[in-house]
Structure 1
Amino acid sequence: MSNRTTFAVLGVSVTNSIVLAKQIAKTNPVLLFDQKAATLLEVYTEIISENPKANVEMMICPTNASWEADIIILSNDVATNVILIEKIKKVATGKIVLILGNEMEVINSESTLDKLQHLFPFSKVVLSNESAYDSNDFLLLKGNEQETLNTILTLFTSIGLKASI
């Protein structure tokens, strides 16, 4: 039996974070964090009601969630929160940090990726954005390391999402 990867999903008040957390929780442990306690409880309850065998846990501290995780997933809101980023930066060293871009914003992916990599200099940063050319369930992945991109692509396709590098 293979080891399961533990995921920290920070910022579960955003739709794409909720969808991803639910999908990942079907096969892997998930640590949930959001600054809004009511939202955190709501998402946790939703996941458990849909999948009673899910290995999901509510975390009250983003640093602990990130420290315990193998892969850290940040909603766009969390990725722009400088205080929260400072809290998790050290424990994200050597880990994959997946940023879920905001589909409502038209952004320069390369510039954004560079800024995010600067925030997490010792992490493997991947930016995920919804494709402007396909349906809203198709994701484009950007990153600086091919192996890391392949890891996230494999994860996304294994949980039923459409993605491309």
Structure 2
Amino acid sequence: MSNKKTFAVINVSEPKSLFLAKQIAKANPVLLFDQNPTTLLEVHTQILIENPEAKVEMMICPTNASWEADIIILSNYAATDIILAEKIRKVATGKIVLILENEKNPMHFENPVDKLQQLFPFSKVIQSIEIPEDLTSSLFLKGKDADALKTILTLYTNIGFKTNILI
């Protein structure tokens, strides 16, 4: 990724979201949101302790975090929360919405990308599927927008993930 993008990480209390927030904050601005203010403060503090130069900000509203971001990252739980999706749908227009899914808590849709695209009809929805337990093992990306897939593939590769695109 040639220029810095701002990332909103929604529901940073989930391990995958936290791990991504820490990794992304090494090179890009990150906006953090979690419904639990204590968790939000702990994550913010932890990132700054590990990386004092990080541009990381706590957000008290998922809509504001999503509005200010170029790319929105939603945990598996956040992606299936219809109320949360309604709050950020309009401000996610034209943006990449990265949905983190894992084998422990799979989304039960016949075609998850299509269902998620319905939640965010004017966004570029990318689904990140983690199958193994190890966060640094292979991940798979699925989506319909080639440029958005390339952006997330580049992000993941820069972080050190072994990533493949599912067609």
TM-score by length of 1: 0.93
Shift of 1:122: 0.3
Q: What's the counterpart of residue 62 of structure 1?
A: 62
Q: Using the alignment, how far apart are the partners of 1:70 and 1:110 within structure 2?
A: 29
Written as runs of structure 1 = structure 2, the 5 A alignment for 1:131-150 is: 131-132=131-132, 136-137=135-136, 138-150=138-150
Residue 153 of structure 1 aligns to which amino acid in structure 2? L
Written as runs of structure 1 = structure 2, the 5 A alignment for 1:73-152 is: 73-106=73-106, 111-132=111-132, 136-137=135-136, 138-152=138-152
Q: Using the alignment, how far apart are the partners of 1:105 and 1:78 within structure 2?
A: 12
Written as runs of structure 1 = structure 2, the 5 A alignment for 1:41-52 is: 41-52=41-52
The answer to whether residue 7 in structure 2 is matched with residue 17 in structure 1 is no
Residue 52 of structure 1 aligns to which amino acid in structure 2? P
Residue 22 of structure 1 aligns to which amino acid in structure 2? K
SS in 1 for 2:74: strand
Written as runs of structure 1 = structure 2, the 5 A alignment for 1:21-40 is: 21-40=21-40
Structure 2: gaps of 5 or more residues: none
Task: Give the % identical residues.
Answer: 64
Shift of 1:144: 0.7
SS in 1 for 2:104: coil
- Cα deviation digits, residues 102-147 of structure 1 (max 9, x gap): 3303557761111100000000000001135x95422100001122
Residue 92 of structure 1 aligns to which amino acid in structure 2? A
Shift of 1:27: 0.1
Q: What's the counterpart of residue 164 of structure 2?
A: 164
Which moved further from structure 2: 102-111 or 113-122? 102-111
TM-score by length of 2: 0.92
Structure 1: gaps of 5 or more residues: none
Asked if the contact 2:109/2:115 (under 8 Å) is kept, the reply is no
Which moved further from structure 2: 63-72 or 146-155? 146-155
In the TM superposition, structure 1's runs of 4+ consecutive aligned residues that sit over 4 Å from their partners are 106-110
Asked if the contact 2:76/2:105 (under 8 Å) is kept, the reply is no
Residue 53 of structure 2 aligns to which amino acid in structure 1? K
Residue 149 of structure 2 aligns to which amino acid in structure 1? L
The alignment covers a number of residue pairs equal to 163
